[in-house]
């Protein structure tokens, strides 16, 4: 499985940044807190969080290319630059270390949410909180349905033998139960629509190829990828409104009981 094209993701990830900023407002960090950003990507939002005076911020991602982009890019000076760490959200190397764990657009890439929530619980200090958002039930159903139809067509089926989905879009009640099993209290989980429109077909195609269907395109020969994306984009042009991705976001807030 190929790693992310981090430079491209950094350039086109405005939807993720917008969602993340809303979640960061709910985080409401206070001076003196230690914050872990799970799935920090190229660090765009991690840096914004670190601008709050008096914070210690750690960005963690399992993608080496994302972290190289975050660490090597010329950055505007901020108060307390974040530290970046390579790691897996479901296997965090921390115990009672953070006042809050923040995450945006990441948990749906992690297959085992029971293990994920246990890992987050262990990494938090007593009284610490999780404030997160990820793709939820129904996320990109229209787009992924069209991709499945193409994958099963005579032109493409030979490339998708043994295919498995890479996303885990969970619902509200199952997420609430998993958080409770991990030990969390004050659990609040909501699911909201968040459609993302694009103005031009080339913008839609570039974003979908780099973010939503990148694993699908990995299966295809290079010369066949443009044709696949052309078919997906042509169908999206017929939607009302056109060129709109049917995103659903799962909002998570939970707390580890105080000692």
**Is 13 within a domain?**
yes
pLDDT computed for residue 78 by the predictor:
45
pLDDT in tens, the chain (259 residues): 566 676 787 788 788 888 889 999 999 999 999 999 999 998 999 999 998 999 999 999 999 999 988 887 544 444 457 999 999 999 999 999 999 999 999 999 999 999 999 999 999 999 999 999 999 999 999 999 999 999 999 999 999 999 998 889 999 999 999 999 999 999 999 999 999 999 999 999 999 999 999 999 999 999 999 999 999 999 999 999 999 999 999 999 999 999 7
**Is 227 within a domain?**
no
pLDDT computed for residue 76 by the predictor:
45
pLDDT computed for residue 62 by the predictor:
94
Question: What is the reported pTM?
Answer: 0.91
**Is 35 within a domain?**
yes
Q: What DSSP letter does each residue of the chain carry, written as one string?
A: -PPP-HHHHHHH-HHHHHHHHHHHHHH---TT-EEEEET-TTSHHHHHHHTSTT-EEEEEES-HHHHHHHHHS-----SSPPEEEE--GGG-S-SS-EEEEEEES-GGG-S-HHHHHHHHHHHEEEEEEEEEEEEBTTTTHHHHHHHHHHHTSTTTGGG-TT-------B-HHHHHHHHHHHTEEEEEEEEEE--EE-SSHHHHHHHIIIIISHHHHHTS-HHHHHHHHHHHHHHHHTSSSSSEE--EEEEEEEEEPP-
- Domain with residue 125: its CATH number is 3.40.50.150
**Is 240 within a domain?**
no
Q: Tell me how many domains the chain contains.
A: 1
**Is 241 within a domain?**
no
**Is 18 within a domain?**
yes
pLDDT computed for residue 8 by the predictor:
81
pLDDT computed for residue 13 by the predictor:
76
Which domain, by its residues, includes 36?
6-139+165-196+246-256
């Amino acid at each position: 499985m190929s790693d992310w094209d981090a430079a491209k993701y950094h350039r086109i990830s405005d939807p993720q940044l917008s969602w993340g900023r809303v979640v960061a407002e709910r985080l409401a960090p206070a001076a003196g807190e230690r914050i872990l950003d799970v799935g920090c990507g190229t660090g765009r939002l991690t840096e914004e969080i670190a601008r709050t005076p008096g914070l210690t911020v750690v960005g963690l991602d399992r993608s080496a290319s994302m972290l190289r982009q975050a660490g090597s890019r010329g950055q505007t000076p901020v108060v307390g630059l974040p530290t970046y760490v390579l790691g897996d959200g479901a296997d965090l190397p921390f115990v009672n270390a953070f006042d809050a764990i923040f995450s945006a657009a990441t948990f749906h890439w992690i297959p085992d949410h029971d293990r994920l929530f246990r890992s987050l619980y262990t990494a938090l200090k007593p009284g610490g909180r999780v404030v997160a958002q990820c793709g939820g039930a129904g996320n990109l159903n229209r787009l992924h349905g069209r991709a499945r139809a193409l994958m099963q067509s005579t032109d493409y089926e030979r490339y998708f033998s043994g295919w498995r989905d890479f996303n885990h879009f969970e619902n509200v009640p199952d997420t609430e139960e998993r958080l409770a099993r991990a030990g969390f209290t004050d659990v609040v989980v909501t699911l909201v629509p968040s459609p993302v429109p694009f103005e031009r077909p080339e913008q839609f195609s570039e974003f979908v190829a780099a973010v939503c269907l990148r694993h699908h395109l990995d299966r295809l020969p290079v010369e066949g990828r443009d044709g696949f994306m052309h078919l997906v984009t042509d169908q999206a042009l017929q939607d009302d409104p056109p060129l709109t991705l049917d995103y659903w976001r799962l909002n998570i807030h939970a707390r580890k009981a105080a000692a």
